[in-house]
Amino acid sequence: MVRRAVTSLVTLLTAMLATLAASTSPAGAVVPEPPRPAFYEAPATLPAANGAVIRSEKMSFLLDPLDATSLVRDANRVLYRTTNRTGKAIAVSGTVLVPRSPWIGVGSRPVIGYAPGTQGMADRCAPSRQFSEGIEYEGIGIEGLLLRGYAVAMPDYEGLGTAGVHTYMDRVSQGRATLDVVRAAQRLPGTGLTTNSPVGIMGYSQGGGAAAAAAELASSYAPDLKVRGAVVGAVPADLQKVASTLDGGLYSAFAFFALRGLAASYDLDLSPYLNARGRATSDQVEQDCVFDLLDHAFVKSSTLSADGQPMSALMAQEPFRSIVEQQRIGTIKPAFPVLVTHSTLDDVIPFSVGKQMARSWCGKGGNIYFSPNVAPLHVGGIVPQTAEALPWFEARFAGIPQISNCWLL
């Protein structure tokens, strides 16, 4: 009896010490997650080529109550090789969807590299998992593309679904993952896609940033892709300005995602910059999905920092200032036409940020069409973007040139 009591006490003390150690661990360290499905585990040796398929499996694609399953002839979950910001080869998961309807346009069936918007940080948030659960909101935007006959390839991004911390807002990592999932789709057997398939790139919010980064990187990183154009919406092109807008608002968690994700990408220990509450919050957001948004709503970043300064002040100091500046989008001219959409009423990513990015691309000689709208708030802005994207891609795949409106900017 005594031995059992002592054993129980030791077990309790061990658990308490483990909890204490976790609460004081360096912010930026990987927080243990529930075991992920075996599909998402990378092999010891990766293929040599970016976009090479490591493995694939059939998956359910659900979009209740619209039942998009009936639109899909072939739905596959893929694990493929890409290269992260540091140049390291990594495995990233994603989804490849090919519609049941035949392609009736000119040439071969196009494939859209569709960069998803904010999903969260936890592995369970990966779109390739959520599609099968019927809770992936991006399915709504994808449905129109499938109905038209386009194939869709969507990345989960670095560390989202796979091992490691999701490098949220890392421009290079997100852009490369988007380009490489298109390569993976073209190499996946049974899809009818080939390396000659015409390509489009699309995304909104975080996905807008990933798609815009892909548009900038495509000519140097993936010159083999036959990209005809990109549609990008509500692009977080200037994280310094976006962080100031988010602070203390409904979408505060997005800023915490960015801080955690960029710290992971740059191997930066956040502990010296955060107080105890801040370190706990940093660990917690790594386990959150976008549906957990309200857990951190209206939290001011100044209440989490070690010196009581807001995150915007932290981002203005080194090493954060250089890291944030490296995420700026609009510094490289896209080699193909780009449609940029943004709501003037966006409450998450300021309208001025998207317009300035378009203006910067124009200044570099890009073929840019900037399309403002008055959709309600950030969430509403995806509706006009989706509506504009369909005829816009139709024209690009038909070989009709885009007429730029840079002269208005």
Could you tell me if residue 378 is inside a domain?
A: yes
- The whole-number pLDDT of residue 95 equals 96
Q: Do 135 and 117 share a structural domain? A: yes
Per-residue confidence at 70, pLDDT binned at 50, 70, 90?
Answer: low
CA angle 34, 36, 38 (to 5 degrees): 145
Any idea which of 204-208, 291-295, 338-342, 369-373 has the lowest mean pLDDT? 291-295
- The whole-number pLDDT of residue 196 equals 95
Q: Do 222 and 102 share a structural domain? A: yes
Q: Could you report the per-residue pLDDT of 251-293, keeping only the tens digit for each?
A: 999 999 999 999 999 999 999 999 999 999 999 999 999 988 8
Q: What's the rounded Cα separation, in Å, for the pair 83 and 61?
A: 27
Does residue 161 register a pLDDT over 60? yes
**233, 385 Cβ separation under 8 angstroms:** yes
Per-residue confidence at 186, pLDDT binned at 50, 70, 90?
Answer: very high
- The whole-number pLDDT of residue 69 equals 59
Does residue 344 register a pLDDT over 50? yes
Per-residue confidence at 104, pLDDT binned at 50, 70, 90?
Answer: confident
Q: Which of 290, 324, 358 is the last residue of a domain?
A: 324
Look up the CATH number of the domain holding residue 375.
3.40.50.1820
Could you tell me if residue 11 is inside a domain?
A: no
Q: Do 244 and 134 share a structural domain? A: no
Q: Do 85 and 95 share a structural domain? A: yes
Q: Do 251 and 114 share a structural domain? A: no
SS3 of the chain: helix, strand, coil, percent, to 5: 45, 20, 40
Number of Cβ within 10 Å of residue 272's Cβ equals 10
**295, 284 Cβ separation under 8 angstroms:** yes
DSSP class of residue 27 equals B
Does residue 131 register a pLDDT over 70? yes
Sequence-separated (6 or more) residues with CB below 8 Å from residue 32: none
* Percent with pLDDT over 90 in the chain: 75
150: domain range? 52-237+333-408
Q: Do 382 and 352 share a structural domain? A: yes
- Per DSSP (E only), the strands in 168-315 are 198-204, 226-233
Question: If you search the block for the tokens 């209206």, which residue do you land on?
Answer: 298
- Whole-angstrom distance between the N-terminal and C-terminal Cα of the chain? 80
- The whole-number pLDDT of residue 79 equals 98
- The whole-number pLDDT of residue 394 equals 96
Could you tell me if residue 78 is inside a domain?
A: yes
Could you tell me if residue 320 is inside a domain?
A: yes
Could you tell me if residue 13 is inside a domain?
A: no
| pTM of the model as a whole | 0.90
- The whole-number pLDDT of residue 143 equals 86
| Residue 98 host element (H or E) | strand 89-99
**Of residues 374 and 135, more confidently modeled:** 374
**85, 265 Cβ separation under 8 angstroms:** yes
Could you tell me if residue 23 is inside a domain?
A: no
Q: Could you report the per-residue pLDDT of 301-330, keeping only the tens digit for each?
A: 999 999 999 888 888 899 999 999 999 999
Q: Do 195 and 57 share a structural domain? A: yes
User: For residue 169, which of 290, 29, 327 has the smallest C-alpha distance?
Assistant: 327
Q: Do 123 and 104 share a structural domain? A: yes
Q: Do 120 and 176 share a structural domain? A: yes
**Of residues 19 and 256, more confidently modeled:** 256
CA dihedral 357, 359, 365, 367 (to 10 degrees): 80
Any idea which of 24-38, 116-130, 210-224, 388-402 has the lowest mean pLDDT? 24-38
Domain count, the chain: 2
- The whole-number pLDDT of residue 15 equals 32
Q: Do 59 and 129 share a structural domain? A: yes
> Which residues on neighbouring strands pair with residue 229, listed in sequence order?
200
- The whole-number pLDDT of residue 68 equals 52
Q: Which amino acid is at 338?
A: V
Q: Which of 307, 324, 341 is the last residue of a domain?
A: 324
Query: What mean pLDDT, rounded, does the chain reach?
Result: 89
Could you tell me if residue 20 is inside a domain?
A: no
Q: Do 261 and 143 share a structural domain? A: no
- The whole-number pLDDT of residue 5 equals 34
Look up the CATH number of the domain holding residue 260.
1.10.260.130
Q: Which of 324, 352, 375 is the last residue of a domain?
A: 324
Q: Do 233 and 176 share a structural domain? A: yes
